[in-house]
Amino acid sequence: MEVSSDSDVEELLLLYALSRSQRKRVWVHDINQKRKDLGEYHHLCRELASHEDRFFTYFRMSQDLFEDTT
């Protein structure tokens, strides 16, 4: 592709800048999306209890250890 004028260069730079500034999408687990609506502790703990791996990731401890500390 041959660039023929300064306006073409400006247009290409603008398109490049716009493509770089687009918001990136990030997948968020349903449990984390519900946190705002359901609350942090009571509902979240119940949801996390059914997902052992998510529970460990969130609290950084096993469910057994968590029960011992509460």
pLDDT at 14: 85
The domains of the chain are located at 28-70
Nearest Cα neighbor of 55 from 64, 24, 2 is: 64
pLDDT for 14-70, tens place per residue?
888 877 766 667 777 777 777 777 777 777 777 788 888 888 988 899 989 988 887
Quote the CA–CA distance of 8 and 70 in Å, as a whole number.
65
pLDDT (mean) for 6-14: 84
pLDDT band at 8 (very low <50, low <70, confident <90, very high): confident
Q: At what angle do helices 42-49 and 30-38 cross, to 10 degrees?
A: 160
Instruction: Give the model's pLDDT for residue 61.
Output: 92
pTM, rounded to two decimals: 0.44
